[in-house]
Chain A
């Protein structure tokens, strides 16, 4: 933790600043968790833009089917007058999901915020394994390159859906996007898996081993609990996906036939291999990807808990129940994967057990929601930009959580499975939930990362518009789902049942375009504030956790004084002190009469 290059200038030659080598060590192949966190942050924000534009491609086709797609259409399909091909449509939704899940949400939560915040919030000078940490970022690059390469030749990306169900994905003959683009996809996702795995062992070790004196497990901020449980989920679930990915690669390249049954004739070419079972892939895939759903939300829940307590100026309601519900979600998360497969051909009896476990996983989510509401009860709420995003997370998570119950009910799922109802559900959880939490977290920790505030007015405009347009885009999807509108169709209006849904789709697409356009405000604010934002001190929000004890931005080694932890991170409005907040690092007052016995948790 000490044999790392220092991003400081005392070794640099006079006024020439750093040498190229020092610069590379400090900012490119850096071992410092903060630099690695920021590398993750910048990379994932760029991919967020790519994923958003891919989504607009989908929305364009659904609103104005077969009309010239702006920019992309004339570029790739000039022969067809800019009209995209149906196989390109399959690429659009496959790559939208792939980019958003594997290159944005998972790495921005665990990679960017996990890296940046874990050592700071537990009072450590860096991660337990800095080199491993650096590798976890640099393993993202082969993934970026693989996915980038898959975009280069027609049909411009893999087209088997982000779930890559065989036989469609396992046989190059099955679809244009199942040729080498699918191989690149599998390799890319495997590299993301390696990166996540390197990160997760590091996070677990760091959180267990490197906490500052006095930082007991039950004094950890919820963000760290979220990251900790996420790391455990990743460590146990990822090997399964990696193995499944290699099995599919072998099916494709060596003819092993793990997922291909006997006697398959696809696109007029007979498969030599057989003896496999397509549903096996679905079990393996969802054994990882269902826990991954929680990987994509638990850290967000943690960050939201911290932000809400800070701006309600009140202790987090039910700290231990919150910790237990996160753990409960993680535990149950391993035995609910079959709810993605109710109509897949899996034994219906198995569907019943998965239905019961799935119903039960709604319980810890409900407990968390009630505790967030309990936290703002009786507080003094400050409506800052991070708080607005955090509150919107709670509000939107209520919608996303409740809509999940429809799908968990197996008979109802028969009808709404693979319709826009499920699309509405996971966008409420992942965009309206996690992405809003991530925005909140960026506004909240930005002053720590860059020593300057982001503009609050622009932040609130960004929040307001995003909030309106996201509901315009995604809430209406529930209605489409109720009609049975299927997902992944390039032109659903050919069906009598769905013909009349075009105007609503156009409304949604307009909202989606405006929502993406709104993010320009965010990008402007993010970049501008780095240079022209108001400089701040260590603790601009008056928060309690340890990262606010470090300078803004923290130097190498994070803390200029050894932090010692005296209490939990949510002591706001404590009667022991006269200030609103009572940070973890402040020693108790000498007047012992003011010290109350620890309250009832």
Chain B
């Protein structure tokens, strides 16, 4: 039976690698079962880090599981007539297999720090060196995303803001900054195609930034449990040309201003 069990454990690297390769290749029935299309100019670095770690861990995974299979096969009591190796370990080996992974891990840690700083700490700046102001403010609320664009006064948070629910429009090929916050409980502002995710915390104002490179309609996902309706807290992100975006914004502004209250004419008898 030792042979059978060794082969079962050999299936771990075989299927383990197979499933990932299959998904990456997008063969039936796993079409689109891989990283969704990245449309953020700064998102590529996250994808390449993901792939880098995948290759690195993949090599270690294949190596260790194959070694395990070989030992199970070779040292099966039913097939191995040698005397048991009476060994309590090897100091040299311990040192080697401590230092090698340690060096690799420290390398990964340092290697990615820049990407992290770019994604979370270095908010884009204007030409004059000031931090770029947000184009819109997004407030998570059970169970919707409330979006405010600045009105004619250019400031978010004033009476003439353009207020929209769940329908975020943004211009393509521009550095976008959004301010995000929460009105009630925790939510998480997740744009899968932008590789952007940030929990929104009541009482805190935070910023996310990205640069869309492709026009289209994408999902805004809530990625932090926010109550019974968490699953339906879905927003839509439309990336369009600057002209279309400006026109859309103007139209929304107009709609909103027309919506001022006019009392109905008095009923005559």
Contacts and interface: CB of A to CB of B under 8 A. Distances in A.
Do the two chains bind?
yes
Interface of A: 85-87, 89-90, 155, 159-161, 165-168, 171, 174-177, 261-267, 277-279, 312-321, 343-345, 348-349, 351-352, 355-356, 359-360, 362-363, 366-367, 369-371, 373-374, 376-383, 388, 391-392, 394-395, 398-399, 402-403, 405-406, 409-412, 414-419, 460, 464, 467, 471, 475-476, 478-480, 482-484, 486, 488-492, 494-497, 500-501, 503-504, 570, 572-575, 580, 599-601
B188 A418 contact: yes
B210 to A, nearest CB: 11
Contacts of B86: 314-315, 573-575, 599
Contacts of B19: 475-476, 478-479
13 contacts: A165-B224, A261-B203, A263-B203, A374-B89, A381-B80, A398-B68, A399-B61, A405-B53, A409-B109, A419-B223, A464-B8, A486-B190, A599-B87
Contacts of B89: 317-321, 371, 374, 600-601
A381 B87 contact: no
Interface stretch (B127-135, B150-158, B161-169, B225-233): B225-233
A382 B195 CA distance: 48
Contacts of B94: 318, 321, 367, 371
Contact of B197 (A318, A415, A471, A580): A415
Given A379-B84, A391-B9, A373 B232 contact: no
Given A264-B184, A267-B142, A175 B98 contact: no
Given A267-B142, A315-B87, A345 B232 contact: no
Contacts of B109: 355-356, 359, 409
A187 to B, nearest CB: 21
B27 interface: no
Given A363-B98, A412-B46, A349 B88 contact: no
B16 A488 contact: no
Contact of B57 (A90, A367, A402, A480): A402
B46 A414 contact: yes
A380 B77 contact: yes
A380 B80 contact: yes
Nearest to B202: A261
Nearest to B184: A266
A601 B36 CA distance: 50
Given A168-B227, A479-B33, A377 B57 contact: no
Contacts of B186: 165, 167-168, 278
Given A90-B227, A345-B198, A496-B219, 10 more contacts: A318-B93, A352-B116, A359-B109, A363-B98, A379-B75, A402-B60, A418-B197, A475-B19, A490-B230, A572-B84
Given A348-B120, A405-B57, A573 B83 contact: yes
Contact of B102 (A363, A403, A475): A363
B105 A174 contact: no
A402 B87 contact: no
A392 B115 CA distance: 36
Interface residues of B, number: 103
A496 B201 CA distance: 26
A570 B34 CA distance: 46
A554 to B, nearest CB: 29
A318 B5 CA distance: 25
Nearest to A264: B202
Interface string B179-213: 00001111010101101111111111010000000
A89 B230 CA distance: 11
Interface string B12-36: 1001100110010000011111111
A496 B57 CA distance: 31
B111 to A, nearest CB: 9
Contacts of A174: 142, 184-185, 227
A483 B32 CA distance: 8
Contact of A411 (B49, B105, B198): B49
Contacts of B120: 348, 351, 410, 414
Contacts of A369: 64
B15 A359 contact: no
Interface string B95-128: 0011001100110110011011101110000000
B214 interface: no
Nearest to B37: A497
Contacts of B136: none
A175 B112 CA distance: 38
Given A167-B185, A418-B188, A488-B225, A378 B197 contact: no
Interface in B221-261: 221-232, 234
Among the interface residues A89, A348, A379, A475, which one has the most CB atoms of the partner chain B within 10 A? A379
A359 B91 contact: no
Contact of A383 (B5, B30, B227, B234): B5
Interface string B52-85: 0110110011001101100110011100101111
Contacts of A416: 50
A483 B36 contact: yes
Given A367-B98, A395-B9, A406-B53, A360 B105 contact: yes
B67 A373 contact: yes
Contacts of B229: 86
A168 B218 CA distance: 28
A383 B2 contact: yes
Given A159-B228, A415-B195, A343 B188 contact: yes
B88 A467 contact: no
Contacts of A492: 231
Contacts of A601: 88-89
Contacts of B232: 86, 491, 494
Contacts of B112: 355, 409-412
Contacts of B12: 395, 399, 471
Contact of B87 (A262, A363, A378): A378
B41 interface: no
Contacts of A383: 1-2, 5, 76-77
Contacts of A160: 225
A161 B184 contact: no
Q: Which 6 A-B pairs have the closest CB atoms?
A: A261-B203, A378-B85, A573-B84, A318-B89, A87-B228, A348-B120
B45 interface: yes
A403 B93 contact: no
A330 to B, nearest CB: 17
B191 to A, nearest CB: 10
A406 B50 contact: yes
Contact of A348 (B77, B116, B217): B116
Contacts of B228: 85-87, 90, 155, 159, 175-177
A494 B217 CA distance: 14
A367 B76 CA distance: 24
Contacts of B65: 395, 398
A407 B5 CA distance: 32
Contact of B219 (A313, A320, A495): A495
B105 A409 contact: no
A388 B105 CA distance: 30
B216 to A, nearest CB: 10
A492 B232 CA distance: 8
A497 B193 contact: yes
A407 B182 CA distance: 25
Nearest to B64: A398
Contacts of A392: 9
Contacts of A496: 217-219
A443 B63 CA distance: 30
A362 B1 contact: no
B11 to A, nearest CB: 9
A359 B108 contact: yes
A348 B117 contact: yes
